[in-house]
């Protein structure tokens, strides 16, 4: 244990599924397809909704809750449902992506020598299978199994008498980290489910939630000490842990109106920040029609890309606001050069969109539209999570500020690592 002040966290305990690795979508698909063939009267939507609420528990307990919620007693027993779903979930060789920001967080805590434990509802056997998934292998030559090497203690669901939401697994993790029960408040737990949050809080730990449930269920995370949109947004120093060192600051100029009189406006300088991505992401596709409100409502046109063919790539990113470069590589605007771009990749909470969208605003004027032309975007840096705003003016003001962050950062060459993308800048422009 690191020596530290009272009530400052000195160690970290992670949940695995939905927090560090993205297994939820794979599990949901197996559950939905299994139940759909068993009970015709229940819709996919209902199954998915119930499956979400059962997340975080051990498999059998989740299955029991699922059977209750969907009244499946007349068609299947929980243990049998589990076996049927399990047949579809042979993790070995499957591509399980990391959650965005997970490796950055683990690497940083390891470098700072913060003791870490894993407290997963998954059994040891399942954990071993999941660690044989390909995950990161394809991208950077790393093996998924490396994930376990970050932890000083690993606690699995089959090592405790009661699973989450019972606190037992967190007690076990603390014991293995050498933390006394009365010091539980100095353990920071990362969880993605309400069941996990309940377990951590009952154990007396400090708990950060990064919800894997949809936004309309965020009320279920009320018990957490803090809720973040993604692991990218965590402020470790708020919990007495070392502060991330990779955020970069840029100065932006703000015009402040005094007493509502525009002629009396004054300039103030503010600091904004951005985070260079470890791996830049290239997104290419034809420009499609969006919601038709960018130019009209906001005066900010965004050249939308179709998320469907780019799903695997954008799942590597936390929903949020990013910047980088864009080029148009087919059609009338081909060879108009490289353009700076700031973009939202997510659900646009202000408009409460149900589907994700990719919306790059190219920071220059175009006389004509370029729908259907091929747009290639190089995503280089993260600025912030998406947020909601009370007025459309506030949304516009924030987007314009994002654009200034992008321009300032790129003007000052603050984004390193562009050299290895030389080919992207030279092709077709
Ligand atoms: P939609 O909802 O269909 O995306 P927008 O109002 O967001 O409509 O307008 C986007 C379109 O405007 C783009 O598809 C593109 O053809 C055009 N456009 C013109 N200038 C720009 C710019 N600077 N950045 C992005 N798109 C632009
Ligand atoms: N929409 C939101 O609801 N919340 C945001 O925080 C937000 N930030 C944005 C930042 C940038 C740089 C851009 C280009 C767009 C952003 N939007 C945001 C998306 C905006 O709502 C979207 O472009 C319009 O809805 C047009 O479809
Ligand atoms: Mg648009």
State pLDDT tens for residues 10-69: 999 999 999 999 999 899 999 999 999 998 899 999 999 999 999 999 999 999 999 999
Is the CB of residue 326 below 6 angstroms from any atom belonging to ligand 1? no
CA geometry: angle 409, 415, 421, nearest 5 deg: 130
Q: Ligand 1 centroid vs 278 CA: distance in angstroms? A: 29
Q: Record the pTM.
A: 0.91
Is the CB of residue 347 below 6 angstroms from any atom belonging to ligand 2? no
The pLDDT value recorded for residue 261 is: 55
Angle between the N-to-C axes of helices 44-54 and 59-69, in degrees from 0 to 180, rounded to the nearest 10:
140
Is the CB of residue 331 below 6 angstroms from any atom belonging to ligand 1? no
Q: Which ligand is nearest to the CA of 332?
A: 1
Is the CB of residue 344 below 6 angstroms from any atom belonging to ligand 1? no
Is the CB of residue 304 below 6 angstroms from any atom belonging to ligand 1? yes
Distances (CA, A) of 110 to 62, 105, 147: 32, 9, 12
First to last CA, the chain: 55
Order of strands, sheet of 247-258, starting from the edge strand that comes earlier in the sequence: 247-258, 261-286, 374-384, 320-328, 338-346, 357-362
400 in helix, strand or coil? Answer: helix
**Ligand 2, atom nearest to 291 Cα:** 27
Of 24, 52, 191, 359, catalytic: 359
**Ligand 2, atom nearest to 387 Cα:** 6
pLDDT tens, residue by residue, 111-166 = 999 999 999 999 999 999 898 876 654 455 556 668 999 999 999 999 999 999 99
- Counting beta carbons within 10 angstroms of the beta carbon of residue 28, is it exposed (0 to 12), middle (13 to 18) or buried (19 or more)? middle
Q: Ligand 2 centroid vs 286 CA: distance in angstroms? A: 20
Angle between the N-to-C axes of helices 44-54 and 24-38, in degrees from 0 to 180, rounded to the nearest 10:
130
Residue among 357, 339, 340, 360 nearest 348 (CA): 357
397 is catalytic: no
């Amino acid at each position: 244990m690191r020596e530290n002040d009272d009530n400052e966290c000195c160690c970290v305990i992670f949940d695995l599924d939905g927090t560090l690795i993205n297994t939820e979508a794979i599990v949901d698909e197996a559950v939905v397809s299994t139940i759909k063939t068993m009970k015709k009267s229940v819709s996919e939507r209902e199954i998915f909704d119930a499956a979400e609420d059962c997340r975080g528990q051990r498999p059998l307990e989740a299955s029991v809750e699922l059977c209750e919620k969907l009244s499946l007693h007349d068609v299947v027993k929980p243990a049998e449902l589990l076996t049927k779903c399990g047949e579809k979930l042979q993790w070995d060789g499957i591509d399980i992506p990391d959650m965005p920001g997970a490796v950055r967080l683990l690497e940083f805590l390891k470098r700072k020598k913060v003791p870490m434990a894993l407290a997963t509802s998954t059994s040891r056997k399942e954990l071993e299978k999941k660690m044989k998934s390909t995950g990161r292998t394809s991208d950077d030559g790393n093996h998924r199994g490396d994930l376990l090497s970050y932890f000083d203690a690993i606690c699995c669901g089959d090592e405790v008498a009661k699973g989450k939401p019972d606190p037992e697994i967190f007690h076990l993790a603390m014991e293995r980290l050498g933390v006394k029960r009365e010091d539980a408040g100095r353990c920071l737990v990362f969880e993605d489910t309400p069941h996990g949050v309940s377990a951590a809080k009952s154990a007396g730990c400090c708990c950060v939630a990064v919800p894997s449930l949809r936004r309309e269920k965020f009320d279920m995370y009320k018990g957490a000490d803090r809720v973040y949109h993604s692991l990218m947004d965590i402020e470790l120093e708020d919990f007495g842990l070392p502060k991330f060192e990779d955020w970069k600051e840029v100065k932006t100029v703000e015009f402040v109106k005094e007493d509502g009189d525009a002629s009396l406006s004054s300039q103030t300088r503010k600091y904004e920040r951005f985070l260079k991505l470890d791996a830049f992401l290239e997104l290419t596709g034809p420009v499609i029609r969006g919601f038709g409100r960018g130019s009209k409502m906001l005066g900010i046109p965004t050249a939308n890309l179709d998320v469907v063919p780019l799903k695997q790539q954008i799942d590597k990113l936390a929903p949020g606001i990013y910047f980088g470069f864009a080029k148009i590589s087919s059609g009338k605007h081909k060879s108009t050069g490289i353009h700076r771009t700031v973009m939202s990749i997510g659900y646009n909470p202000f408009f409460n969109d149900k589907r994700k969208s990719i919306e790059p605003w190219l920071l220059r004027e175009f006389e004509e539209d370029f729908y259907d032309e091929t747009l290639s975007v190089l995503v280089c840096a993260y600025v912030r999570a998406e947020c909601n705003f009370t007025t459309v003016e506030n949304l516009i003001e924030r987007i314009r500020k994002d654009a200034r962050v992008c321009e300032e950062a790129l003007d000052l060459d603050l984004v390193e690592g562009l050299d290895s993308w030389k080919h992207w800048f030279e092709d077709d422009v």
